[in-house]
Structure 1
Amino acid sequence: MSDRKNALPWLGLSVAIIVLDWISKQWALSALTYGVPQEVVPGFWNWTLVHNTGAAFSFLADAGGWQQWLFSALAVFISAVCVGMLAKQPRAEWRMALPLALIVGGALGNLIDRVRFGYVVDFVHWYWRDFHWPVFNLADSAISIAAVLLIVFSFVPDKTPEST
């Protein structure tokens, strides 16, 4: 009977991501100075507060402002699609529910920033020598982890008894 229940309770993970993302961004806004790196791990990791008006990797960051509405609408649309998929997904199908919940949490976490500020608060800066990964946040991490999980799960067969 439990397999017939939908995966909407996974949205609790989405809420946790949103709350942790918000708390971490509040810390960054209060503890960091814009654009000034604070070393965490020498040669690899800084806290660096930046404002991202674009999407992933600052895509369309210099587009003039209209991109805020596009990315906000996309976040709402993608989150609604993921919630719809969770509603149809059996609760036990965690290999699909987990990434969907991470996407919802990440998308809505960044949406909150876009609505509040017109940009996304980023502050995690990883680098190695001259290579610098784009500065990111917890919401971005949740979305990235979801993407990796979806790819990995598509190549690794499900060995649970129900799937065979």
Structure 2
Amino acid sequence: MPRALIVEDEEPIRVLLEQALAGLGFTAASAENGREGLEALESGSYDLLLTDIRMPEMDGLTMIKRIRQKNNLIPILVITAFPSVDSAVDSLSEGADDYLVKPVNLKDLEGKVRKAVERRRIQKRLIQYKRRVLGLILGIPFWIVLGWFLGRMFL
């Protein structure tokens, strides 16, 4: 079962998001601020992150920036009660996959969750294919040299 981490300082919203994600087949864990969210990500494996922007101790944008600096490919959805063009642009430029406004429409949440998870699945598959191709390319000189050597030995 996929796991989601919800980073939200308001408990009623955390509970609502946990229930919504459970309906989508996720097991959810939660944190109250960005610092706790980073600690949870370091100690566990998650398939999705939902985060608020405005929180005590560490805001959501700072947390997203630190996550992306570690090259973590986890899908990140930002949820905010204070929407603005600037906060949307900042969220996406720091590495969020999408942006939702509170109160969250559950149909929108479902669509954005599925889209973000699918995008990451495709990115991971692309990385695997790139590694395979690189391995094949780097292996070609070995086979050329081996073929030349064997040809010289037996011809």
Name the TM-score, length of structure 1 as normaliser: 0.24
Higher relative contact order (CA 8 A, sep 6+): 1
Q: TM-score, normalised by structure 2?
A: 0.25
> Larger Rg: 1 or 2?
2
